[in-house]
Structure 1
Amino acid sequence: MGHGCRRVGERIAASIGRITEAATLFVKAKDISKGGVLLALPALLSNGLLKHTKEYFKLPKGYYNLRHIFITLAFIVLLRIKTIESIKNCSPGEIGKIIGLDRIPEIKTIRKKLSILAEQEKAQAWNSVLSKQWMESNDESAGILYVDGHVRVYNGKQTKLPKRYVAREKLCLRGMTDYWLNDAIGRPYFVVSKAQNSGMLAALKTDIIPRLLKEVPNQPTDEDLLNNKYKTRFSLVFDREGYSPEFIKTMWQEYRISCYTYNKYPGQDWAEEEFREEEVKMHNGEIVKMKLAERGTYLGDKIWTREIRKIKKNGHQTSIVTTDFEPCRAAIAVSMFSRWSQENFLKYMMENFGIDRLIEYETTPLDETIEVINPEYRQLESKIKSVSQKLSKETSKFGKITLAMETEKEKEDMEKYLKRKGELYESIEIYTKELDELKKKRKETAKHIQIGELSESEKFSSLAQEKKHIMDTIKMIAYRAETAMAMIIRERMSKPDEAKALLRQIFVDEVDLNPDTKNNILTITIHSLTNEKSNRIVESLCNTLNETETVFPGTNMRLFYNLVST
């Protein structure tokens, strides 16, 4: 039955269908490796780990139920076990003790359970209801939302995904693009994955905006919008990838959604005398000083916007444009520059939670009516670029040799000069003619075609996403839980930025379990950390967690946390 299996009778009963699930039972134990992750359970539950799971998912009778699977997956995420296969490197019996079982499921069992859940195709619905609740629990943060794309590079051979630019690699590589939606301090709401390389604006129009119109809480009524022409439903913040005066105009005029982005074409610098130093409070609580100036600008001859600029000590000016007319310019600057919290989130999720790792190896067909870049058009673009470069090079040589004619040396060797000039002129004519023909052909070629119109060699599928959506949602819950815990302990730390590093240390620490079935209390005693200062922080965290009076799911046992030295 595998390492750590002690409840043999229940396992046999589950295998023949005599019981629906294994009971969650805790036994007295000492020095449980990585048991510190139990301190994250109240935060995981409050962020929705087991909320609505029974509404959207079902598992057949067996030893492990939904609750066991979801808690196990959340714990392995927080323990930085980045793939399901990596579970083999940890002690199954040790982690099993902290979820009230003899051992956690084997790798093949977890994969099987995930496959059953994926077949139900409820991952998006589950994430949607959680996302809505997260927004409602902090409706002020939900008023300003951050969108950013992240490419998951794919090197497999199951499908030939289109290439796209990967900024962190500075290369064009095959992969999927995930568009993440976060709040101002980086907490995630949901993610939209795209196999086709249609860009951020397409994802916003087709997937993100329709969902936000349904989920963002406390949106103004139509009457409110009519009475105040500057009022916005909510705001979207994105980088230059989303810069489009036409899109910004559409968002404002059709939906009253305001957009924040960097000005792609800022033009000349403003006079330094226009800038005034202002003290502003960032969303993470940090107080900073910025030199800001503001003007109005008619963006791309499409829509009137506010333009706020920040000037650095070296004179560099950063230009922000927005259709949000109500906040002061300092608030606009804070909201735009808080976009880096989303960049930090994506980097953190890659390094700690493995959001780029494959969960499954299957592919799924795409809707054949989806439009993609015509490969023939792309080839013509590439050829035009190549010929243009050659033409530019030959034209430059022709200009140089013409100017050089004035020297005595060239006059003495006129025959050689005229021959070279003629060769260059002939090359220029050939390249010019070729370029004109290519441009004419490009004009006659459709830029976009449907996937169904692609040749068999060019067709591609999407990587299967259902299991990924389940795991991504669990990782979002884990990140939000960890962030909530970090916000509790950072107040007691001299270096608040190290809060999550301390939590990582806590999660892998050893604990002792002492169940009191008479009083329904499960005492979790965490072992001492490396120094007294950290111990005091852990002790304070334990007191805060005890105030939640969290009951371990599937039992009547209230969790009580303390430090071994107390």
Structure 2
Amino acid sequence: MGAQSVDARLAASIGQLEEPVAPDFQALQDVPKGGVLFALPALLVTGLLKYSENFFKLSKGYYGLDSLLIILAFIALVRVKTIESLRYSAPGEWGKLIGLDRIPEVRTLRSKIKQLTQDEGPQQWSEALCKEWMQSTPEQASILYIDGHVRVYNGQQTKLPRHHVARQKLCLRATTDYWVNAMDGQPFMVINKAVDPGMIKVIENDILPQLEKRLPTFVNAQELKSDPLLHRFTLVCDRESYSPPFFKRMKAQRVACLTYHKYPGENWPEEEFLPYAVTLSSGEQTQLKLAERGHCLSNGLWVREIRKLSQKGHQTSIIGTDYRSEMIPLAVAMFARWSQENFFKYCRKHFGLDKLADYCIEPVSESVKVVNPEYRRLDSQIRSSQGKLNRLLARFATLTLDTPIEPDKVEPFLQKKTTCQEEIEAFQVQIKTLKEKRKQAPHYLKVKDLPEEEQFQQLSTKSKHFIDTIKMIAYRAETAMANLLRETLSRPDEVRSLLRAIYSSEADLIPDHEQGTLTVKLHHLANRSYDIAIQKLCDELNSTETKFPRTNLRMIFKLGTK
């Protein structure tokens, strides 16, 4: 479909259009992906357009900021994973969803995003939304889940440092994103690290200072003063955060930590474990065999140790510095960490979490420290030589005369043993020399001090942060809709599949400018059993009385083609 608002586009091209074109819906049937309009109320409530005008400014043009943000959220929900993929979609069909003749071309859309991400706007917008989400749902923000997601980079723009990718069991060039999520997996914030200093440093230097600004006040100063064991909020992490000194520093700041015990020691007697009926974060009710003891860490810090006994006899050990909560909620909170892993898996598959937002690179701060390449090379040689030495020592230990042998075989046997001993001595000398060299080489270097062939730049973070924030909004909106529908389905695990089907379905658009309404009539899905759930969703959405941005049209949601 070609452009229809020719006069407005001509005025925009010469800078004479004072205001962006307002949405003007036409009566249309069978609009592709029209069902994604069902997500608009949830997107607006989640904060898609909230604070946006405070942090973003667009130059005069045809498209308004709200139209751009809505279309970016829509393409995320219908699983268009990159902006580049819009080249293969009809811009006129997308335009119908936002009341315009067509959406911007990919090149124009990229330039608009580049304009919006020139300064610190994306970061500040994300921070404002994070604070809004935490303040509005304090029950979710009291227990926060932190984990690093390694985003592999296969491009040629720069040679990023290598990271261990657990899901592929390989060391690949990548960057690490540290996510902060709620117990049900809903994201609050993300911090990118081209050079990963480790989870503990990221928590202390980046995450905790931001949480101090955004979290609601759960306990007041008087309560903290009167109870030295009371904490303000809880951080749940995997074994990477295990560090007795770190736990002690967090306790001093009245922050509780919960993680798996890295060195659990011997199993406890099975008689200590008692069955408890628990309700998991997903709502599922089950029975767990739990036991608890006090445990003194290497630095003298006393923590709570809770263990779960599996049906096969395996004991999972949890340690925490939350001294006031009951045992069962702590165990449930720790095992709910998998909701964050599920969030990563789901968003990688459906929202293109690992996709690049652009192909730009930017300098790394010169003060950032990385492992010295020479130190890494020497360390690798030492490990390799040590492995060979261990194998030689094992072979040498087998060269013993436990039984008598023929006299003519003694000479070859002694020669073989002597050769093995010489190889062992040679490796011992080699390892000693390498260790001396490694000792003299600095472990870390600043980026500016790296050899020229080892210099690297980081991927652009501003546009990626902007797109990730929109994807967070889209995921939270989808989650809110899923929570509405889950109870109406006989199989609650199908709720997100149903929502994906709704977003991709055709719909009729019926504007009534006299009555001030915009009716979105969704076509029936292939599975008619979903009609009851969809009708309930329509009722809930209609109760919000949402108006389409920059119009006076109240949205009405219906199911059916008649």
TMscore range, shorter length: over 0.9
One-letter code aligned to 1:145 = L
- Counterpart residue number, 1:503: 499
One-letter code aligned to 2:349 = E
User: 2:299 & 2:13 partners in 1: Cα distance?
Assistant: 69
- Counterpart residue number, 2:518: 522
Secondary structure of the residue aligned to 2:289 is: strand
- Counterpart residue number, 1:44: 43
CA contact under 8 A between 1:10 and 1:22: conserved in structure 2?
yes
- Counterpart residue number, 2:559: 563
Structure 1 segment 247-266 matched on structure 2, within 5 A = 247-253=246-252, 255-266=253-264
- Counterpart residue number, 1:336: 334
User: 2:561 & 2:160 partners in 1: Cα distance?
Assistant: 56
Check if 1:438 corresponds to 2:438.
no
- Counterpart residue number, 1:372: 370
One-letter code aligned to 1:521 = T
User: 1:414 & 1:53 partners in 2: Cα distance?
Assistant: 86
User: 2:372 & 2:542 partners in 1: Cα distance?
Assistant: 60
> Deviations 1:83-122 (Å, cap 9, x if unpaired)?
1111122222122111010111110111010010111331
One-letter code aligned to 1:146 = Y
Check if 1:401 corresponds to 2:362.
no
Q: Give the drift of 1:565.
A: 5.4
User: 1:528 & 1:313 partners in 2: Cα distance?
Assistant: 45
Scaled by the length of structure 2, what TM-score is found? 0.98
Q: Give the drift of 1:447.
A: 1.6
User: 1:271 & 1:337 partners in 2: Cα distance?
Assistant: 22
One-letter code aligned to 1:43 = A
Secondary structure of the residue aligned to 2:293 is: strand
- Counterpart residue number, 1:110: 109
Check if 1:12 corresponds to 2:10.
yes
Check if 1:477 corresponds to 2:473.
yes
Structure 1 segments (4+ residues) deviating >3 Å: none
User: 2:435 & 2:168 partners in 1: Cα distance?
Assistant: 32
Structure 1 segment 18-417 matched on structure 2, within 5 A = 18-19=16-17, 20-253=19-252, 255-402=253-400, 405-409=401-405, 412-417=408-413
CA contact under 8 A between 1:233 and 1:257: conserved in structure 2?
yes
User: 2:355 & 2:555 partners in 1: Cα distance?
Assistant: 33
> Deviations 1:372-423 (Å, cap 9, x if unpaired)?
1121221121111011111111111111002xx1222265522112211111
Q: Give the drift of 1:441.
A: 2.7
Q: Which moved more, 1:356-365 or 1:471-480?
A: 356-365
User: 1:292 & 1:443 partners in 2: Cα distance?
Assistant: 47
User: 1:354 & 1:445 partners in 2: Cα distance?
Assistant: 41
Q: Give the drift of 1:442.
A: 2.4
User: 1:64 & 1:410 partners in 2: Cα distance?
Assistant: 95
User: 1:301 & 1:52 partners in 2: Cα distance?
Assistant: 46
Secondary structure of the residue aligned to 1:81 is: coil
CA contact under 8 A between 1:57 and 1:120: conserved in structure 2?
no
Q: Which moved more, 1:312-321 or 1:422-431?
A: 422-431
Q: Give the drift of 1:240.
A: 1.1
CA contact under 8 A between 2:258 and 2:334: conserved in structure 1?
yes
Q: Which moved more, 1:156-165 or 1:338-347?
A: 156-165
One-letter code aligned to 2:179 = W
User: 2:473 & 2:324 partners in 1: Cα distance?
Assistant: 33
User: 1:302 & 1:291 partners in 2: Cα distance?
Assistant: 28
User: 1:22 & 1:454 partners in 2: Cα distance?
Assistant: 51
- Counterpart residue number, 1:458: 454
Identity %: 48
User: 2:506 & 2:238 partners in 1: Cα distance?
Assistant: 43
Check if 1:548 corresponds to 2:547.
no
Q: Residue 42 and residue 410 in structure 1: after superposition, are their counterparts in 2 closer, same or farther (change >3 A)? A: farther
Scaled by the length of structure 1, what TM-score is found? 0.97
User: 1:311 & 1:446 partners in 2: Cα distance?
Assistant: 45
Q: How many residues align?
A: 561
- Counterpart residue number, 1:512: 508
Secondary structure of the residue aligned to 1:457 is: helix
One-letter code aligned to 1:198 = P
Q: Residue 410 and residue 484 in structure 1: after superposition, are their counterparts in 2 closer, same or farther (change >3 A)? A: farther
CA contact under 8 A between 2:521 and 2:561: conserved in structure 1?
no
> Deviations 1:180-212 (Å, cap 9, x if unpaired)?
110000000111111113221221122111111
CA contact under 8 A between 1:245 and 1:299: conserved in structure 2?
yes
CA contact under 8 A between 2:392 and 2:424: conserved in structure 1?
yes
User: 2:300 & 2:451 partners in 1: Cα distance?
Assistant: 38
One-letter code aligned to 1:265 = Y
Q: Give the drift of 1:301.
A: 3.3
- Which of these residues, 490, 505, 508, is aligned with residue 494 of structure 1? 490
CA contact under 8 A between 2:510 and 2:520: conserved in structure 1?
yes
User: 2:169 & 2:385 partners in 1: Cα distance?
Assistant: 24
Q: Give the drift of 1:287.
A: 1.1
Q: Which moved more, 1:438-447 or 1:454-463?
A: 438-447
Q: Give the drift of 1:368.
A: 0.8
Secondary structure of the residue aligned to 1:100 is: coil
Q: Residue 410 and residue 380 in structure 1: after superposition, are their counterparts in 2 closer, same or farther (change >3 A)? A: farther
User: 2:207 & 2:115 partners in 1: Cα distance?
Assistant: 28
Q: Give the drift of 1:459.
A: 1.6
One-letter code aligned to 1:60 = S
CA contact under 8 A between 1:37 and 1:506: conserved in structure 2?
yes
User: 2:297 & 2:398 partners in 1: Cα distance?
Assistant: 40
- Counterpart residue number, 1:419: 415
One-letter code aligned to 2:294 = G
